[in-house]
Amino acid sequence: MNKYRDFDNYLKEMPDENGYFGEYGGAFLDPELVPAFKEITSSYQAICHSAQFINELRRIRKEFQGRPTPVYHCERLSALFGNCQIYLKREDLNHTGAHKLNHCMGEGLLAKYMGKKKVIAETGAGQHGVALATAAAYFGLECDIYMGEVDIAKQHPNVIRMKMLGANVVPVTHGLKTLKEAVDAAFDAYKKEYHDAIYCIGSCLGPHPFPMMVRDFQSVIGIEAREQFMEMTGNMPDAVCACVGGGSNSLGMFTPFLADPVDIYGVEPLGKGGNVGDHAATMKFGTKGKLHGFESYLLQDENGEPLPVYSIASGLDYPGVGPEHAYLKDANRVHYDAVTDEEAMEAFFLLSRYEGIIPAIESSHAVAYAIKYAKEKKSGSILACLSGRGDKDIDYVYEKYGCGESFDLDKYKK
Ligand SMILES: Cc1ncc(COP(=O)(O)O)c(C=O)c1O
């Protein structure tokens, strides 16, 4: 059977009413939180079919976020590797500099509809935190953002931005002090405040309905990109790719292409290599398990405890992955690969030097994969999601790599 045809009715079937994508997903909650999540689900189901909500979100996307973001043809970068053409969906040009605002404005609108006074979230790279703080300022809501101390030091500009936007940044000091611990802390806070607050999860993760809801809000990326690419070239791309942390920019990009004859690649962080603690490549090395209220692939020990993870990209540094990705991997519809810190950083400097675009380190993983694809295929086209801009990363990158002197950026020139 045509491997693409199975996906014609996909959005009607996935997830099921209990939030399952095949055997992954669900909602494993403390009993006290069950009614709160049911309320979120029923409120979302009500508003996502309401013309008023859809029109308001459309207006916000156009007038406040600056959508649609463009698709850009990287002619100089492509020319380095032969005849395969690399294109980027420019989510770095979305207001606040990354894709995260796409779901935050939707979640903020939902919070308003539900009569909540506060939004709570975790953040890794700070992009979700900045986006939610922005949505909170826009909608007049209080905002608490939980962030690991390691990430606070690494992503300093985003910490300042969140504070300027009026958010309360709560440092998380236990464990590895990165994204997983920030999610733990945000969940604990939500348990105490769910009457007045809503937990706005920052990716296609967590208990139902968040994986579905965040995917739906993010699908604007792929809907726009598909139409723009067709308009520019008259064809579908041969492949699309995106980096995978929890999975929101990637599912936003992939979903509208699932029923098309297009190869789809999710790119995870291989960090310093394949040893435990050196990477966060959940699809490559993980097994089925439970974390933060949902079932998916997980990097875990023999007792089901999450293993330590690492990536140079704070936003990819998570031991789990959204349940829909687990389903799409098993269904063999999306292929998952991983690139190292060094490959991502070379892509960071190449895109900066050859196209005048400084990417987020997270997004550099997708660019690195597009380069790998272009080198291998030598023809055709690949459309990568440039999920965010690199301004938040420049202090850290400069300290570690200078302005890229250790990379031979001219070696691909003919
Ligand atoms: C710019 C950027 N891209 C990608 C990600 C990864 O998240 P996701 O997999 O949910 O898109 C993050 C997370 O913070 C990010 O800031």
Could you say which of 48, 73, 84, 99 is catalytic?
A: 99
Confidence grade of residue 2 (pLDDT, cut at 50, 70, 90): low
- Within 6 A (CB) of ligand 1 lie 98, 124-125, 127-128, 203, 243-250, 315-316, 360, 362-363, 387-388
Candidate from 178, 249, 392 with most ligand 1 atoms within 8 A of CB, to mutate: 249
Confidence grade of residue 69 (pLDDT, cut at 50, 70, 90): very high
Mean model confidence pLDDT for the chain: 96
Give percent of the chain above pLDDT 90. Answer: 95
The model's pLDDT over 337-354, given as tens digits with 9 standing for 90+, comes to 999 999 999 999 999 999
The confidence score (pLDDT) of residue 414 equals 72
User: Strand 20-21 vs strand 24-25: parallel, antiparallel, or unpaired?
Assistant: antiparallel
Ligand 1 centre to CA of 261 (Å) is: 26
The model's pLDDT over 360-385, given as tens digits with 9 standing for 90+, comes to 999 999 999 999 999 999 999 999 99
Domains 67-97+220-401 and 101-201 share a fold: yes
The confidence score (pLDDT) of residue 1 equals 43
Q: Which residue's CA lies nearest to atom 12 of ligand 1?
A: 315
| Inter-residue contact 145 to 123 (CB < 8 Å) | yes
Give percent of the chain above pLDDT 70. Answer: 99
The model's pLDDT over 165-209, given as tens digits with 9 standing for 90+, comes to 999 999 999 999 999 999 999 999 999 999 999 999 999 999 999
Ligand 1 centre to CA of 328 (Å) is: 19
More confident residue, 8 or 176: 176
User: Strand 142-148 vs strand 168-172: parallel, antiparallel, or unpaired?
Assistant: parallel
The confidence score (pLDDT) of residue 332 equals 96
Q: 222 pLDDT exceeds 70? A: yes
Domain ranges for the chain: 67-97+220-401, 101-201
Q: 406 pLDDT exceeds 80? A: yes
pTM: 0.96
Rounded Cα–Cα distance for residues 117 and 132 (Å): 14
Rounded Cα–Cα distance for residues 241 and 243 (Å): 7
200 is annotated as an active-site residue: no
Span 22-27, mean pLDDT?
98
Residue 131, class by beta-carbon neighbours within 10 Å (0-12 exposed, 13-18 middle, 19+ buried)? buried
CATH number of 67-97+220-401: 3.40.50.1100
Span 234-262, mean pLDDT?
98
99 is annotated as an active-site residue: yes
Confidence grade of residue 32 (pLDDT, cut at 50, 70, 90): confident
Fold for domain 101-201?
Rossmann fold (3.40.50)
**Distance of alpha carbon 409 from its chain centroid, rounded?**
28
The confidence score (pLDDT) of residue 3 equals 67
Q: 138 pLDDT exceeds 60? A: yes
Q: Which residue's CA lies nearest to atom 4 of ligand 1?
A: 362
The confidence score (pLDDT) of residue 4 equals 75
Q: 97 pLDDT exceeds 60? A: yes
Q: 57 pLDDT exceeds 70? A: yes
CA atoms within 13 A on the CB side of 312: 25
Q: Which residue's CA lies nearest to atom 1 of ligand 1?
A: 388
Ligand 1 centre to CA of 373 (Å) is: 21
The model's pLDDT over 269-299, given as tens digits with 9 standing for 90+, comes to 999 999 999 999 999 999 999 999 999 999 9
